[in-house]
Amino acid sequence: MSRGKTRRKTVWVCRECGHESSGYFGRCPSCDAWGTMVEQLEAPVAANRFGEPRSFQRLTEVRSAERARLSLGSVEFDRVLGGGLVPGSLVLLGGDPGIGKSTLLLQTALRVAEQGRTVLYIAAEESPEQIKLRADRLGAPSEGVLLLAETALDRALEEATQLRPALVIIDSIQTVYLSELDSSPGSVSQLRDCTGRVLQFAKRTGIPVFLIGHVTKEGLIAGPRVVEHMVDVVLYLEGERFHQHRVLRAAKNRFGSTNEIGVFEMSDAGLIDVGNPSELFLSERVANAAGSAVVAVLEGTRPILIEVQALTSAAGYGTPRRVATGFDATRLQLLVAVLTKHAGLRLADQDVFVNVTGGIRIVEPAADLAVALAIASSASGIPLETDAVYIGEVGLAGEVRGVHSLERRLQEAARLGFARAYVPASSRFPLVGAGLHLVSVRTVAEAVSALAARAVRARPDVIEPLPE
Ligand code: TYD
Ligand code: MG
């Protein structure tokens, strides 16, 4: 690696306790942690994160950035950002390799260029030819997109300063480097100092910058997480690689809510906005299958219907497994305990698997009732009502607790043709049922026995054998 003439001094900083020393230690002299010392550039005097020293300003004199947000030409993307991109903001886009980060941002570059603006795409990972191949799939190329194949960050930012584009995209933060540092690209010190340099560029010029960061196997250590605290917005693009849709989520947003999600579908021509995610998430549902329940969760301002699946099966030796995908594992254990204790389900010798379809991660407790009933349904082999949604938080005593914004969830269910909704009995009445038949539920036990009763009604031919 070439070394710049104006080498700045480097120091070694402990990742754990922040202890600084001029030399490397395998074990931090201050907190005794092993292998936590990372190399960092010593901060230049008088520089702050906005590039230059400043005197104070009156709060009333600070210009609001709100007016000038840049639309990225995608309703979903703009919504996640809080209504477009704020000038001078630094946005980190993280995600697994191959999930579609480069695709999303190249598409964004093309769309912004369509508005007659210039976008600089710093390609530090792929050759311009590879990027051109991708662009060909995404539709009409645009004059406004400029590619720069450069891994030396200083040179790339110099170009950007000269060019003054409307947007800069760096693909990726793990492959660019600063020559003053001895460590290799992608190391913690390079990640931090490169991000710091880009941050100064963004604040100094007012040009918004996207940084792409791969989530590595070590995730927490060398992945985008180490720079999360430095940037304005952290987005993660998620989804299962072999599934069509992708979810864009804000993990941090200085300019908007972190609750909003953007849903996209990966097609032959890039990522397409999905305006009606509920329809997509329910499209593969099998009618009358045991272990499936539909819940209406609220993602930001938007209610989304999602199918929750559960499977119980005889466990082998040892502790039975409780495995959750898209749902909190501890919460699942809690629900299994509640079902065992309060609804009389025998799950002690059963493995329990729960899967939230569509690669969605449910964080809301409002999905508890649906998860609990999906488990009960799988354990009993009795399907839940296909045209019903289940909404409610489950407490430790087996009670079903109220959720916020119930009306909005019910409206979405009605819109998608659902006929009934199981809702917490404590919900404020009269409820606007949005045309749904509402069934109020006080406890999980009550809902589970309603399920069992349904099976008897549905199969009058089943006669209990007499005891011998
Ligand atoms: P990519 O954006 O290269 O992922 P990342 O930058 O996150 O590593 O996209 C990878 C996948 O997307 C790749 O497997 C091909 C697929 N893809 C499509 O399905 N349709 C498209 O139009 C494009 C451009 C990519
Ligand atoms: Mg890529």
Same domain flag for 285 and 338: yes
Q: Is the shortest distance between the CB of 213 and ligand 1 below 6 Å? A: no
Same domain flag for 428 and 308: yes
Q: What's 85's DSSP letter?
A: B
pLDDT tens string 191-229: 999 999 999 999 999 999 999 998 876 554 457 778 889
Same domain flag for 230 and 315: no
Examine residue 463 and state whether it is found in any structural domain, yes or no.
Answer: no
Helix axes 128-137, 101-114, angle to 10 degrees: 70
Same domain flag for 99 and 246: yes
Examine residue 404 and state whether it is found in any structural domain, yes or no.
Answer: yes
Examine residue 89 and state whether it is found in any structural domain, yes or no.
Answer: yes
Same domain flag for 328 and 262: no
Tell me how far the alpha carbon of residue 96 lies from the centroid of ligand 1, in angstroms.
Answer: 11
* Beta strands at 245-253 and 233-238: parallel, antiparallel or unpaired: antiparallel
Residue 20: domain span: 10-41
Which chain residues have CB less than 5 Å from ligand 2, an ion? 102
CA-99 nearest atom, ligand 1: 7
Examine residue 55 and state whether it is found in any structural domain, yes or no.
Answer: no
pLDDT tens string 337-393: 999 999 999 999 999 999 998 777 898 999 999 999 999 999 999 999 989 999 999
Name the least confident of 41-50, 316-325, 424-433: 41-50
- Ligand closest to Cα of 175 equals 2
Q: What is the pLDDT of residue 464?
A: 44
Examine residue 250 and state whether it is found in any structural domain, yes or no.
Answer: yes
Domain boundary among 247, 275, 303: 275
Q: What is the pLDDT of residue 3?
A: 47
CA-106 nearest atom, ligand 1: 2
Tell me how far the alpha carbon of residue 359 lies from the centroid of ligand 1, in angstroms.
Answer: 17
Examine residue 51 and state whether it is found in any structural domain, yes or no.
Answer: no
Q: What is the pLDDT of residue 67?
A: 62
Same domain flag for 311 and 421: yes
| Tokens found for residue 211 | 């940084």
- The residue nearest atom 10 of ligand 1, judged by CA position, is 98
Tell me how far the alpha carbon of residue 442 lies from the centroid of ligand 2, in angstroms.
Answer: 49
pLDDT tens string 450-463: 988 876 555 444 44
- Amino acid identity, position 54: R
Tally of domains within the chain: 3
Same domain flag for 327 and 181: no
Q: Is the shortest distance between the CB of 209 and ligand 1 below 6 Å? A: no
Q: What is the pLDDT of residue 236?
A: 92
Strand ordering across the sheet containing 420-424: 322-325, 350-356, 302-314, 292-299, 388-390, 420-424, 437-441
Is 4 a residue whose pLDDT tops 50? no
Q: What is the pLDDT of residue 462?
A: 41
pLDDT tens string 304-334: 899 999 999 999 888 999 999 999 999 999 9
Could you tell me the CATH number of the domain that includes residue 325? 3.30.230.10
- Ligand closest to Cα of 268 equals 1
| Tokens found for residue 400 | 């079903």
CA-96 nearest atom, ligand 1: 7
Same domain flag for 223 and 185: yes
For 365, residues 6+ apart whose C-beta sits below 8 A from its C-beta are 331, 393, 394, 401, 403
Q: Longest C-alpha distance within the chain, in Å?
A: 94
Same domain flag for 313 and 437: yes
CA distance 138 to 216: 27
**DSSP class per residue in 165-208:** -SEEEEE-TTT-B-TT--SPTTSHHHHHHHHHHHHHHHHHH---
Same domain flag for 120 and 228: yes
For the chain, give the mean pLDDT.
Answer: 86
Task: Among 134, 236, 266, name the best residue to mutate to test ligand 1's pocket (greatest count of ligand atoms within 8 A of Cβ).
Answer: 266
Same domain flag for 201 and 239: yes
Say whether 435 sits in a helix, a strand or coil. Answer: coil
Domain boundary among 245, 275, 305: 275
